[in-house]
């Protein structure tokens, strides 16, 4: 049993919370942390005289009362823009083929990665035209029926980890390593590439300001939760920090 400043969190509460954390690396730990943080916020709401009935409204009311973050000015937005211009490229596109080795919960990730690596090594010894045959034989993606072709990809059309690898590749090349994504492991080949243009600052200033504001708020919220944890008497759980879906 977990006890937070004298208030118990029982097994029934933990069992009810656990399904929401099934995709976490350690679901039990994640659920426990979540319940502790919620209880700390509930207790803090009582101190502040907050009487919201729903859990989400109560937590938000506590955050609004206790956390203040400055809004980013134009100078901060422009500084971010100048340092991250690669994020604001418009109409950059590249032709892509891939072979997906899909990772499922039942699979041994190390074994699948080793298998994908063997296929990549074999493909490197073969002629470029063999890629389509390999895709049809090995890929778990529907694109396998089309030789692994994903067509022309633009930025922000695929998951970030795949996009980052693809747009760092030269045109007409086979990547010499596997690309890890939330879907599994990919062997990737590019075709023709069209370099895009950097969008003007005026066009992206508001999205930058919104992102900087949200980022600042997340950091301040994390620090606030860590402060609550540090001041609390918590028994039955080692809680090192405040990593939680509350911050997502």
Residues 6 or more apart whose Cβ sits within 8 Å of residue 216: 69, 70, 72
What's the pTM value of the predicted model, to 2 decimals? 0.63
CA 69, CA 202: separation in Å to the nearest integer?
Answer: 24
Domains of the chain: 2-72+203-247 (no CATH), 92-195 (3.10.50.40)
Going along 168-213, which residue ranges are E strands?
A: 179-181, 184-194, 197-198
Find out whether 91 and 199 touch, Cβ atoms under 8 Å: no
201-241: per-residue pLDDT in tens?
999 999 999 999 999 999 999 999 999 999 999 999 887 65
Could you give phi then psi for residue 19, rounded to 5 degrees? -60, -25
Residues 6 or more apart whose Cβ sits within 8 Å of residue 103: 109, 112, 183, 184, 185
105-156: per-residue pLDDT in tens?
888 999 999 999 999 999 999 988 899 999 999 999 999 999 999 999 998 8
Find out whether 103 and 68 touch, Cβ atoms under 8 Å: no
Cα atoms found within 13 Å of the Cα of residue 55, Cβ hemisphere only: 7
The stretch 158-165 carries a mean pLDDT of 93
């Amino acid at each position: 049993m977990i006890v937070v400043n004298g208030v118990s969190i029982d097994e029934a509460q933990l069992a009810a919370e656990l399904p929401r954390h099934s995709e976490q690396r350690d679901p039990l730990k994640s659920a426990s942390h979540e319940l502790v943080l919620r209880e700390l916020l509930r207790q803090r709401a009582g101190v502040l005289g907050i009487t919201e009935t729903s859990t989400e409204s109560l937590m938000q009311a506590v955050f609004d009362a206790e956390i203040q973050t400055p809004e980013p000015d134009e100078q901060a937005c422009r500084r971010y823009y100048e340092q991250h211009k690669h994020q604001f490229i418009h109409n950059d596109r590249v032709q892509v083929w891939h072979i997906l080795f899909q990772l499922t919960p039942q699979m041994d990730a190390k074994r699948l990665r080793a298998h994908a690596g063997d296929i990549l090594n074999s493909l490197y010894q073969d002629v470029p035209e063999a890629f389509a045959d390999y895709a049809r034989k090995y890929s778990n993606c529907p694109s396998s029926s089309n030789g692994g072709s994903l067509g022309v990809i633009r930025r922000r059309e695929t998951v970030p980890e795949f996009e980052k690898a693809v747009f760092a590749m030269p045109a007409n090349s086979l990547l010499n390593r596997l690309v890890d994504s939330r879907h599994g492991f990919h062997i990737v080949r590019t075709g023709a590439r069209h370099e895009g243009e950097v969008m003007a600052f005026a066009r992206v200033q508001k999205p930058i300001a919104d992102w900087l504001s949200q980022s600042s708020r997340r950091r301040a919220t994390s620090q606030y939760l860590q402060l609550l944890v540090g001041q609390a008497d918590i028994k039955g759980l080692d809680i090192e920090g405040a990593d939680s879906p509350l911050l997502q």
